[in-house]
Amino acid sequence: MEDIEQLSKILDEALEQYSSSRSFSTDLNALFAESQGNAQLRTLLRKLAFRHATNSIEEIGEIPTLDWLQQVVRGIYEGS
């Protein structure tokens, strides 16, 4: 598992990519898969995703950011 800084970097890149292409990076998809069976990692990813979304609403806009957050949370719990 990556450290918090690495997870934050992956989420930053994923939010930027998602805002332009509506897709996730392979790094984020790998984290989704890794989080399966790891409640601690799922909780950390969820908290970081909410933090990133909160900090990005003004820059990216409410609807795209909330759409991203919804997809991230779904990915965390579904594994993809």
Report pLDDT digits (tens) over 65-79: 999 999 999 999 887
pLDDT of residue 1: 52
The segments of the chain whose pLDDT lies below 70 read 1-2, 80
Q: Give this prediction's pTM.
A: 0.85
Q: Which residues of 3-18 are buried (b: 16+ CB within 10 A; e: fewer)?
A: eeeebeebbeebbebb
pLDDT of residue 73: 93
Please provide the DSSP assignment of 22-75 as one string: S---HHHHHHHHHHTT-HHHHHHHHHHHHHHHHHHHHHH-HHHHHHHHHHHHHH
The Cα–Cα gap between 58 and 54 comes to 9
